[in-house]
Structure 1
Amino acid sequence: MKAYAWSVTGRLLVDLLDHTAGPGTAASLLGEILDA
């Protein structure tokens, strides 16, 4: 259940980032986090 909640939260954050900062921002941000 916790994993599901994280998945939903993550999806909402991605949607929020896409709306505020433009499409692809969340993906590039995630890429930087994974590269670090």
Structure 2
Amino acid sequence: MAVREAIARGEMAVAEGRVVPHAEAKTRMARWLK
């Protein structure tokens, strides 16, 4: 049940445009890991 809810939340985030492009995620992680 929790998996389905997580997938639904992810799909809603994509539909609402609340996502980060892969390149931006890599940049953020690189800064965080320093």
Partners in 2 of 1:15 and 1:3 — Cα distance? 18
Higher relative contact order (CA 8 A, sep 6+): 1
CA shift, 1:10, in A, is 0.6
Instruction: Looking at secondary structure, tell me which structure has more helix per residue.
Output: 1
Corresponding residue for residue 12 of structure 1: 12
- Report how many aligned residue pairs link the two structures: 25
Gaps of 5+ in 2: 30-34
Deviating beyond 3 angstroms after TM superposition, the runs of 4 or more aligned structure 1 residues are none
Larger-Rg structure: 2
- TM-score after normalising by structure 1: 0.52
